[in-house]
Amino acid sequence: LHSPCLTYLIPVSWFLLALVPVCYTECFDEMVVQTSAGRIRGKTMRVLSGKVTAYLGIPYAEPPIGQLRFAKPVPSKPWTNVREVTKYSNTCYQNVSNSESKALWEKIWSPNTELSENCLYLNLWVPSPRPKKAAVMVWIHGGAFMSGSSSLLVYNGRFLSHTQKVIVVSMNYRLGVFGFLALPGNSDVPGNMGLFDQRLALQWVHDNIAAFGGNPKSVTLFGQSAGAASINMHLIASQSSSLFHRVIMQSGSSNTPWAFVKSVDAKHRAAAFGKRIGCPYSSDAEFLSCLRGKSAYDVLCYSLADPQSNLLSQVIFLPVATGDFFTEKAEMLMQQKIVEKKQILQGTNRDEATYFLAMGGPGFSKDTESVIGRKDFVKAVKWILPENTVLTVDDIECEYIDEKDEDSTINYRDAVASMAADSLFVCPMKQFANKYAGQGNKVYSYLFNHLPPAGAWQKWMGVMHGYEIVFVFGMPFNKFGKWTQAEEVLSKNMMNYWSTFARTGNPIGQEVTTVKWPVYTQLKQQYIILNAKRLEVKKKFRKQTCNFWNQEIPKLVKRYEST
């Protein structure tokens, strides 16, 4: 039968069917996500046998320029069109090395985008297809609070996201004078602006991560060096602690001498900086008005320390243990009192301080064996110790030099390296672990002890500060670099430990393994050795030496202050 009505409906039906794929493509584009500020579109990245969707350069705050320089971050204004977020943002203003080295170990740490104050952006890597309620891992980079960027090659989250099916997030935050100038008592510039940046980024994750397939109730912070110290500060700050659930702290904590500055010192440093740049302090308002009128380049240049000063004084602008970032009393920063219980994975590398010694320690060089005698030993100890310390070189020599080896130049070199690592990294982190475990938190600890054969540094420098990061982010699976199969396995295992901890609060979870990762306690102080071999349980790492730094030294200080 022929019906004029049917004749009409058939072409119309085919027309409607033809529209369906178009509508489906537009409405269900996996790369387009609605955020609280507007829609964004990422890009697909092929990773090994699969792919991830990357969202690079998402603004979480307004550019901190003009009147917003040195001020708390302001959430990003909304936009109407779909915003393309397919490339990294600017790098926050910082001093950059002029080295033209093509070595892998320098290339992966070098800023790779333009320097700018307009730098408050974050990045996400999401497994494809988009997951449902995936664990979220938020990376906070290190760099002594004065350098670094989320766009560094070593921090690419694609391998971790793809292999472990987690959402990886990274962020930029203001550095140096831009992020940590402090006028304690001034509500506009109380200090800790870089930490406020981090908190706002964490709030963005909390508010938006569900739209990417993430679970806002399963957010783990992980970071290294100053990033780990920042995480420790968020643990203490009540307004931050509700935004995450677990933490991984690599080679850093807030109780280290390089992680914070007293409020009185912060004000003195601000005034000295103002004098150098031509903004002598008269009042807070005039001081800030003058500084905001200077170019970013001048602000950076005049904020840098004398390279000949001692190690700790080279980092001038740091978090300050006061102000409204820490709503509790400032003493809590040192007492390590927490707001609520968290599961913690923390650890250090075998040779944390050798890199810093090679970059400026008296008698040390990255190009030589750096064997030193007692004369350079004395200079190096004074270069490392904070100013006005009650410690003497004799105290250090007694603790670190065996009498029968006093004439050994290698022994003096290694003694300085151990002393610096213990005082700046190992022992503060042991103190952190002991206090947190004693407060009823579940703590897991590790010592990273693998020396990559592809390293470009002197053998004496060993397993340096930052070496573990390439394995956490899956760098051995990248196309460049001479990695062994054993190192690929180590990287795969470490990504699994980190992500399993993020999902379950235990680095090994429910897996059946020959070696269990024990919980760290004040009594046993057990930890795992991480290298290309099988897992190995050890206990009481540097216990006697850390008793010297964490117990004997405070007694000396107390005795000194009472006289």
* 241-262: pLDDT as tens digits: 899 999 999 999 999 989 999 8
Strands 50-59 and 43-47, by their bridges, are antiparallel
Backbone torsions φ then ψ of 143, nearest 5 degrees: 130, 30
Q: What is the pLDDT of residue 12?
A: 42
Q: What is the pLDDT of residue 5?
A: 44
Q: What is the pLDDT of residue 337?
A: 64
Q: Which helix (H) or strand (E) holds 167?
A: strand 167-171
Q: What is the pLDDT of residue 236?
A: 87
- pLDDT average, residue stretch 402-429: 85
At 124-168, the pLDDT tens digits run 999 999 999 999 999 999 999 999 999 999 999 999 999 999 999
Q: What is the pLDDT of residue 472?
A: 98
Q: Which among 537, 512, 513, 534 is positioned nearest to 446, based on CA atoms? A: 537
Q: What is the pLDDT of residue 482?
A: 82
- pLDDT average, residue stretch 323-335: 62
Q: Quick one: 271 exposed, middle or buried, by C-beta within 10 A (0-12, 13-18, 19+)?
A: middle
Q: What is the pLDDT of residue 22?
A: 41
- pLDDT average, residue stretch 420-439: 93
DSSP 21-52: HHHHHHHT-TTEEE-SS-EEE-EEEEETTEEE
- pLDDT reading at 389 higher than 70: no
- pLDDT average, residue stretch 429-439: 91
Contacts of 290 (CB under 8 A, 6+ apart): 274, 278, 279
Q: Which among 401, 406, 414, 333 is positioned nearest to 371, based on CA atoms? A: 414
Q: What is the pLDDT of residue 354?
A: 95
Q: What is the pLDDT of residue 9?
A: 38
Q: Which domains does the chain have, with CATH numbers?
A: 1-91+117-338 (3.40.50.1820), 341-361+413-563 (3.40.50.1820), 374-412 (no CATH)
Question: What percent of the chain clears pLDDT 90, i.e. is strictly above it?
Answer: 66
- pLDDT reading at 281 higher than 60: yes
- pLDDT classification of 6: cutoffs 50, 70, 90: very low
- Per the CB < 8 A criterion, the answer to whether 264 and 236 are in contact is no
Assign 445 to helix, strand or coil: strand
Q: What is the pLDDT of residue 454?
A: 56
The β-bridge partners of 446 are 347, 528
At 66-100, the pLDDT tens digits run 999 999 999 999 999 999 999 999 999 999 876 66
Question: What percent of the chain clears pLDDT 70, i.e. is strictly above it?
Answer: 86
Least confident of 62-66, 172-176, 399-403, 494-498: 399-403
Q: What is the pLDDT of residue 411?
A: 87
Q: What is the pLDDT of residue 69?
A: 97
Higher pLDDT, 187 or 276: 276
At 540-550, the pLDDT tens digits run 999 999 999 98
- pLDDT reading at 538 higher than 50: yes
Assign 142 to helix, strand or coil: coil
Q: Which among 128, 126, 116 is positioned nearest to 63, based on CA atoms? A: 116
Q: What is the pLDDT of residue 26?
A: 39
Cα separation, 490 vs 496, in Å, equals 10
Q: What is the pLDDT of residue 14?
A: 38
- pLDDT reading at 345 higher than 70: yes
Q: What are the b/e assignments for 25-51, b being 16+ CB within 10 Å? A: eeeeeebebebebbebbbeebebeeee
Q: What are the b/e assignments for 533-543, b being 16+ CB within 10 Å? A: eebeeeeebbe
Q: What is the pLDDT of residue 15?
A: 39
- pLDDT classification of 3: cutoffs 50, 70, 90: very low
- pLDDT reading at 18 higher than 50: no
Give the up-direction half-sphere exposure of residue 320: CA atoms within 13 A in the CB hemisphere. 29
- pLDDT classification of 387: cutoffs 50, 70, 90: low
Assign 304 to helix, strand or coil: coil
Q: What is the pLDDT of residue 188?
A: 86
Q: What is the pLDDT of residue 395?
A: 85
Q: What positions carry a catalytic annotation? A: 225, 352, 465
Q: What is the pLDDT of residue 492?
A: 96
- pLDDT reading at 192 higher than 70: yes
Q: What is the pLDDT of residue 7?
A: 40
